[in-house]
Amino acid sequence: MFYRLRKFFHKHILRRKYLREGHCLGCGACCTHIYVKHMKGVVKTEDEFRKLRLLHPFYTYLEIVGEDETGLFFECTNLDKETKQCKIHAHRPGICRRYPQEEIFLLGGTLKEDCGYRFVPIDSFDEVFSKLKKKLK
Ligand code: SF4
Ligand code: SF4
């Protein structure tokens, strides 16, 4: 019953396509390879990032650790590298509290390989297929 209500809420109220399942294993991997997206897309230059830092305190926690075809990637300075724990866990920003959300797929992102979360489609393949068949009749 709870599952069906949850599914209804996510599909019809939040307009989601996936349900998030699982839980955080505290590996810290998602805090060490972060892309930053803003209005113009993923941040690609230090100059862009410098301007962005003025807009939200979260960005001040980040430092550039590399660059690839997507853009710059960052590591959060609040991550304790030994314990893999967030040093400001109780006061971590909303973006960290809500992570991961299905929007990461829209940004071209993926979950880390060993992440304890997974996303499952709200409508199974069979449900989508049977709806499509009905429409085509
Ligand atoms: S504030 Fe904490 S949870 Fe958020 S990215 Fe940094 S280390 Fe990770
Ligand atoms: S990658 Fe997944 S399991 Fe690891 S800290 Fe991030 S949310 Fe938790």
Query: pLDDT by residue (tens digit) across 75-133?
Result: 999 999 999 999 999 999 999 999 998 887 766 678 888 999 999 888 876 776 677 77
Task: Flag whether the pTM goes above 0.85.
Answer: no
Domain assignment of residue 137, yes or no = no
Question: Whose alpha carbon is nearest atom 8 of ligand 1?
Answer: 31
Domain assignment of residue 83, yes or no = yes
Range of the domain at 72: 12-129
- 29 Cβ below 6 A of ligand 2: yes
Question: Whose alpha carbon is nearest atom 6 of ligand 2?
Answer: 30
Q: Considering its fold, how many domains does the chain have in total?
A: 1
Say how far apart CA 43 and CA 45 lie, in whole Å.
6
